[in-house]
Amino acid sequence: MPRIIAPIALAALTISQAASAANVLIVSAGSDTTNTALKSALENQGHTATIGPTYWEFDTNFDLTGFDVIYIQGNGNWTQSDMPLDAQSMILDFAQDGAGVVFSEWVIWMVQARSVFQVLAAAMPVEPTTAFRSTATVTFTENINDPFVSDGLPTSFNMPLSSFSGTETFLTPKENATVFYDSDWVSGGQTSGAVVGWDICGGRVVNFSTVNGINQINDPNFQILLSNLMTWVSRSEKDVVCFADIAVPCGVLDFFDISQYLSRFAAQDERADLNDDNNFDFFDISIYISGYTNGCP
């Protein structure tokens, strides 16, 4: 149970609301075919998608303002160098500030095999590993039903995969992570997670076990799943289980969280409008204090 400092005794309030379409920044796969298919798939599902630089060319000059989600592929260009450390820190701050990050398979493999993405590795809900396979198809099976992630999908579905020197990495979830879908890959009596996510200080992060190439992107069920995940990770901190935890250190409610909320409130940041009435008043502050008092699971 995370520590709560100086709570103010008000009744707890649970907030739940559906999120709107996300504005997604696609970190380039180094493949125009993959990028174009991915952009079309997301836009066909109602999201907005922008193709950005490759991961090794991504730097702090890139303006993340207005984006809800960053999707980092690292598949078609996995042999390149690391993402600059300050750019990784910027993306980590982006996530901890209430946004979302989604990774395809190659990124988690590179953490362990090539010692890249080391700053972002801490934000990933799965353990680093080099265990991978090359299979032409995969079956995703629902492990837990989530009203956002599972929406419109069968409990189990098969997809064709594209190979980028492999097609899937074995995912072992970290403590407190959620396995939304299992893979059909079983090794040593354990089943690989296929889609694993968690909350990180008000934001959300997801890892895929698969490389998410063109064959998979063109699959109708995968398009729905990818769209649903963009919605899930882009839900703001007021919608997550512990929406009051909006400042580092994550998992601890303290003065820094209160200060961050009051700064947003003073700036009339839409994330401080907790009852979504387009006003910034006592009711929003009361909701925040209630969430703060209620604490984190």
Tens digit of each residue's pLDDT (9 = 90 or more) over 45-84: 999 999 999 999 999 999 999 999 999 998 888 888 899 9
Q: Which of 184, 210, 234 is the last residue of a domain?
A: 234
Q: Are residues 111 and 132 in the same domain?
A: yes
Residue 281 has pLDDT above 80, yes or no: yes
Residue 174 has pLDDT above 70, yes or no: yes
Q: Which of 216, 234, 252 is the last residue of a domain?
A: 234
With bands split at pLDDT 50, 70 and 90, how would you rate the model's confidence at 203? confident
With bands split at pLDDT 50, 70 and 90, how would you rate the model's confidence at 219? very high
What is the distance between the alpha carbons of residues 113 and 129, in angstroms, rounded to a whole number? 7
Strand partners, 203: 200
Q: Are residues 217 and 117 in the same domain?
A: yes
Q: Are residues 197 and 252 in the same domain?
A: no
Structural domain including 74 reads 23-234
Overall pTM surpassing 0.95 (yes/no): no
Q: Are residues 210 and 295 in the same domain?
A: no
Q: Are residues 201 and 143 in the same domain?
A: yes
String of b and e for 197-227 (b: at least 16 CB within 10 Å)? bbbbbbbbbbbbbbbbbbbbbebebbbbbbb
Q: Are residues 110 and 121 in the same domain?
A: yes
Q: Are residues 113 and 258 in the same domain?
A: no
Q: Are residues 137 and 95 in the same domain?
A: yes
Q: Are residues 202 and 132 in the same domain?
A: yes
Residue 186 has pLDDT above 60, yes or no: yes
Q: Are residues 1 and 148 in the same domain?
A: no
For position 201, what pLDDT does the model report?
80
The pLDDT mean for the chain works out to 88
Q: Which of 192, 217, 234 is the last residue of a domain?
A: 234
Burial of 30 from C-beta contacts in 10 A (0-12 / 13-18 / 19+)? buried
Q: Are residues 228 and 292 in the same domain?
A: no
Tally of structural domains, the chain:
2
Q: Are residues 179 and 281 in the same domain?
A: no
